[in-house]
């Protein structure tokens, strides 16, 4: 009899990526079609669905570091992806390609923070470097400064570190992540928009999905490359929609 692979129950990383992709697409389309901070209940609901994306990506980035066979190649791919995505992201939301012409916020995509998140894990991982506590703190602070200008700012890096540092303990992963998201939400609430500040806290809706993660990749090995292609491609489509609906103007607040 042929041996059959036994699949674990739950959600594999391919399915988690699919959930993140769908939520991300909804969120970005809503942002370019109805820019600003609309208070219509159904737009709020669509943006809440979009909050699934960031924490799922943070979680998968931490898992990717754990399972990768070559950290240097993993980091290299992410930085190449970040450069390509920079132009697609800025075109999508009408942000100048050269940073800091309009603001210090949302000057590039979240992929920039994801790539540096892996760097932060690698630098603080004792199996790579025997650094002292203060040295790790200084390096993380420098990375936070570098990623401050991106989507989700340095919060993405700090959340990734919290998730990886508590791997195997979902409660600590979630609580660590939410501490940083709460900080982000408070700043958003005080200085940008109160409703959308509260909205950021809905990243918590990722928990039921991540809780079902079974540690498997899934049968389709092409999902990784599909995401690398889909992310900038869908942003280009969003940019075309933006220009057709609103002209060549920026639609990202703070961008």
Residue-wise pLDDT tens digits, 86-97: 999 999 999 999
pLDDT, mean of residues 19-37: 96
Q: Is the pLDDT of residue 134 over 80?
A: yes
Residue 137 resides in a domain? yes
Residue 30 resides in a domain? yes
Residue 219 resides in a domain? yes
pLDDT, mean of residues 203-223: 95
Cβ-based neighbours of 191, under 8 Å, separated by 6 or more: none
* Interatomic CA distance for residues 20 and 58, integer angstroms: 11
Residue 253 resides in a domain? no
Q: Is the pLDDT of residue 167 over 50?
A: yes
Neighbours of 43 (CB within 10 A): 15
In sequence order, what DSSP letters do the residues of 8-44 get, joined into one string? PSSB-HHHHHHHHHHHHHHHHHHHHHS-S----HHHH
Confidence of residue 7 (pLDDT cuts 50, 70, 90): low
CA dihedral 115, 119, 125, 126 (to 10 degrees): 160
Report pLDDT for 253. 66
Report pLDDT for 4. 42
The domain in which residue 56 lies consists of 13-246
Residue 8 resides in a domain? no
Residue 6 resides in a domain? no
Report pLDDT for 42. 97
Average pLDDT of the chain to the nearest whole number: 94
Residue 1 resides in a domain? no
Contact criterion met (CB below 8 Å) for 146 and 128 = no
Neighbours of 202 (CB within 10 A): 19
The domain tally of the chain equals 1
């Amino acid at each position: 009899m042929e041996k059959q692979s036994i699949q674990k129950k739950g959600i594999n990383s391919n399915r988690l990526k699919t959930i993140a992709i769908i939520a991300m697409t909804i969120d970005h389309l809503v942002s370019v079609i109805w820019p600003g901070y609309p208070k219509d209940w159904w737009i709020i609901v669509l943006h809440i669905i979009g909050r699934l994306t960031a924490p799922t990506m943070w979680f998968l980035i931490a898992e990717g570091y754990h399972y990768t066979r070559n950290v240097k190649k993993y980091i290299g791919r992410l930085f190449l992806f970040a450069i390509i995505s920079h132009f697609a992201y800025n075109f999508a939301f009408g942000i100048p390609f050269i940073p800091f012409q309009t603001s210090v916020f949302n000057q590039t995509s979240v992929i920039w923070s994801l790539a540096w998140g892996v760097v932060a894990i690698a630098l603080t991982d004792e199996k790579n470097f025997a650094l002292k506590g203060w040295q790790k703190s200084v390096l993380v602070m420098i990375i936070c400064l570098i990623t401050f200008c991106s989507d989700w700012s340095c919060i993405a890096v700090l959340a990734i570190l919290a998730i990886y540092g508590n791997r195997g303990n979902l409660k600590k992963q979630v609580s660590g992540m939410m501490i940083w998201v709460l900080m982000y939400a408070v700043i958003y609430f005080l200085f940008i928009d109160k409703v959308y500040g509260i909205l950021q806290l809905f990243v918590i809706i990722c928990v039921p999905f991540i809780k079902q993660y079974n540690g498997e990749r899934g049968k389709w090995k092409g999902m990784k490359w599909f995401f690398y292609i889909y992310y900038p491609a869908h942003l280009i489509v969003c940019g075309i929609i933006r220009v057709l609906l609103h002209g060549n103007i920026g639609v990202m607040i703070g961008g």
